[in-house]
Structure 1
Amino acid sequence: MLTVWYNTRCPVCDAGIVRQKRRLIEAVKAGRIEFRDINFEPAALAGHGASLEDIRRRLHATDAAGELLIGADVAIAVWEVTPGEGWLATLFGNPAVLPLTRFAYDRFADLLYAWNRRKGRW
């Protein structure tokens, strides 16, 4: 199972996950993917070395093997199981494009995190 940890206090993050949940209803019901709010379990990924602030800054997930995924790698893993979005995973997860995907995701996440902090969403 893919377990995605996200921050519901961020309106952009929350809206994105709500959209994905709607697209993945069957996968959620079947137990193939789960979305969890880190604000209810702030130490959930401490064993992986991820703090609450790390997860507020970037999406985090654990895969079926218990491996930690961070940032763009989480988005790619979600796209892989989302009907009609596998092409996004193929395009942005391509080994030649992946470094740019990660860079772009991280810069966007940094800006979003700073915006949320300025708005007091913690």
Structure 2
Amino acid sequence: MLKQTPRPELTVWYNTRCPVCDGGITRQKRRLIEAVRAGRIKFRDINLEPAALAGHGASLEDIRRRLHATDADGRLLVGADVAIAVWRITPGEGWLATLLGNRLTLPMTRFAYDRFADLLYAWNRRKGRW
């Protein structure tokens, strides 16, 4: 009988063509090396699988604009919620999730993330990183 592989706790979809996004994910991969090896978290390049989240209603451009992830139950996380989920499982970064992901600060965290993501997306488009 084949052993069924459990779903990762988190599958993060990001744009490797964005140097800021790619650098940030590379840093997180290094910090999460054991979780990556164990299959608890996966990082996927949306440019290699552009329709990966179409079933969730997320387009390639949506994912190039903001981080997207699916959790172990298949729920979609977007933007700041992805960063918070990654910080929760990253050794030494749980405090960031607690500080920026609590019910009082989360609306401001999401607003700040979205504005930064909009600027980064516009910058990448101007530079032709698509």
Q: Is TM > 0.5 for Structure 1 vs Structure 2?
A: yes
Report the number of matched residues.
122
Indicate yes or no: 2:44 matched with 1:36.
yes
Q: Who is 1:3 aligned against?
A: 11
98, 104, 109: which one pairs with 1:101?
109
Q: State the Cα distance separating 1:117 from its structure 2 match.
A: 0.2
Separation (CA, whole Å) in 1 of partners of 2:105 and 2:26: 27
1:15-94 mapped onto 2 (5 Å cutoff): 15-94=23-102
- For 2:50, give the aligned amino acid: P
Offset from partner CA, 1:57-113 (integer Å, 9 cap, x none): 000000000000000000000000000000000000010000000000000000000
Q: State the Cα distance separating 1:46 from its structure 2 match.
A: 0.0
Offset from partner CA, 1:24-56 (integer Å, 9 cap, x none): 000001111000000000000000000000000
**Percent same amino acid among aligned pairs?**
87
Separation (CA, whole Å) in 1 of partners of 2:77 and 2:46: 15
- For 1:72, give the aligned amino acid: A
Gaps of 5+ in 2: 1-7
Normalization by structure 1: what TM-score? 1.00
Indicate yes or no: 2:125 matched with 1:117.
yes
Moved over 2 A (4+): none
Q: State the Cα distance separating 1:20 from its structure 2 match.
A: 0.2
Normalization by structure 2: what TM-score? 0.93
**Which protein has the larger Cα radius of gyration, Structure 1 or Structure 2?**
2
Q: Who is 1:13 aligned against?
A: 21
Cα RMSD, aligned residues only? 0.3
